[in-house]
Amino acid sequence: MPVGTPTPFSFFRRPQLSVKSLILLSALFIIVANNGVLFKALSGRLDLFSLQGALFVFSIYLLLVSVLSLVFFLLCHPYTLKPVLIFFIVVTAVLSYFSQQLGVIFDVDMIRNVAETIRDNNQQEAFELLSFPLIFHVLLLGVLPSLFVIYVSPIYSKALREILTRFGVISVMLLLVGLMVWSNFKFTTFFVRENREIRIYTLPVYPVYALQKYAKTLKKSSKTPFETIGEDAVQEKVNPNKIVGLMVVGETARADHFSLNGYQRKNNPLLEKENLLNFSNATSAGTSTAYSVPSMFSFLAPNKYSPEKASNTSNVLDVLKHAGVSVFWIENNSSSKGVANRIETIDLRKNHDRSSPLYSDGGYFDEALVNYLDRCIEESPKDVLIVLHTMGSHGPTYHKRYPDEFAKFLPDCQSNSPQECSSEEVINAYDNTILYTDYVLSGLIAFLKKHNDEYDSFLLYASDHGESLGEDGIYLHGLPAFLAPEAQTHIPMFAWLSEGFIADQTIPLPPSKNDIDRDVSHDNLSHTLLGLLDVKTSLYKKDLDLFSDH
């Protein structure tokens, strides 16, 4: 048979591509197929039909392809070529799903959230994010192109020629980028200067940068010795009566969906009957649990705060414990994010009782928290602070956060892909979680009221952050501070004080019990807890105590 004559099996021969071509094709596919959000952001700020706009967009995409190709040229060798390409293809497909469908930005804080989920072994949260739309997206943009990479037979040149070829290709690509930038220099420099945040949309370049930055932060934190502060703390009580305080850490609750704050739906029917001190202008430190929860108990100033710094410094719970207060943490969420490392913790996530009427989907409904209060209080004759970390309104499966009898607002979204539900269904499900939170919190207040004759008591509630419910195509939370909408940072915060506590601590109430409109934040919480429990320390700042002015 003559050379080159097709055989019956020719169809099954694996196509051959040079390594250079395979790398460039892979980089081009990853950048073009997964950067829809970047293109949308650029098209919203540029005239793509103008020469300047089109040239700028083309140069941006060529630069991204060049950078990714350079990474591949450095990492891809005979034994690493296909694993590296497949890894980037699949991971970028996953990132682009959350970016395009939910509006997620993979900055340092989001990388920290992912790391915390893995560290906490939070399988429940991971599985809740797994959905058919995600699977389909990854199959289309991750698995299918990966199969192509597997099927192709790469052709390698001799070592020196391969190195020179790779260097030449990158040089030519970067030269083209340089020429396009130079020819459009005035427009490019102006646009970049005015739109620096555009870089956060570049996949997978910016997430890789954020991962590297987070790794450096962790490395620095691991070498920093723990700093014990507040050793001068002592409790100087005005009244000898025992104090029992509940600090409730809310989850994903936004202030404008609390009827306490004027929301049109009555989803706080029980709390509205209570004598609350409601702080209607409260702001969270961040937009994620991993960032916000440590800040709620930290003494670090906002410009010096980071979760890593907080983990290496005593927090208000440590200081209260040092002063003689019995402190407990009851966990019904992912974890305390390091806040409760040095105090007694009760973790409801472990050893679940599936026969319990409060058991739900690998965890418990929040009302299960009340079952542990008596134990904590009875264990100590001293004053007690109990921190309750609730599941609250954690998404995306809002419908799993409340029992069926609290499904008042219907139809409610029953999917773990909120973007697949109507806006009405998403909001209904979310509002049902707030209705259930109202029930849980009023139950905690009722528990304290039952013991009015035994001790003075208070309840302080603040959510860790808010939530986006599809506004402007954004869902869930975790956006960078400079991009985050008010829905992710405006949080509910209020306090309930028993009559005995008010009388014994001589705390005068404001004229309106329902609404205190001063600007407050997570920064107030540590100092407020010190004040409520009569703990004196040089760390205490009176102007940050929520009750110091009343």
Give the domain ranges of the chain.
14-221, 234-544
Nearest to residue 368, comparing CAs of 345, 394, 388, 384?
A: 388
Q: How far is CA 484 from the centre of its chain?
A: 12
Nearest-angstrom CA–CA distance, 362 and 350 = 10
**What's the pLDDT score for residue 360?**
84
**What's the pLDDT score for residue 466?**
98
**What's the pLDDT score for residue 504?**
78
For residue 526, give both structure tokens.
């540590």
Instruction: Give the position of tokens 């509205």.
Output: 272
**What's the pLDDT score for residue 512?**
52
Identify the segments of the chain with pLDDT beneath 50: 1, 3, 9, 550
**What's the pLDDT score for residue 423?**
97
**What's the pLDDT score for residue 136?**
97
**Using an 8 Å Cβ cutoff, are 451 and 241 in contact?**
no
Nearest to residue 387, comparing CAs of 450, 318, 299, 310?
A: 318
Here the contacts of 118-122 (C-beta below 8 Å, separation 24 or greater) are 120/334, 120/335, 122/334, 122/335
- pLDDT tens profile 371-386: 999 999 998 889 999 9
**What's the pLDDT score for residue 509?**
62
- pLDDT tens profile 342-356: 999 999 988 788 888
Q: What three-state secondary structure class fits 111?
A: helix
Would you give the end-to-end CA distance of the chain in angstroms?
99
Q: Which fold has domain 234-544?
A: Alkaline Phosphatase, subunit A (3.40.720)
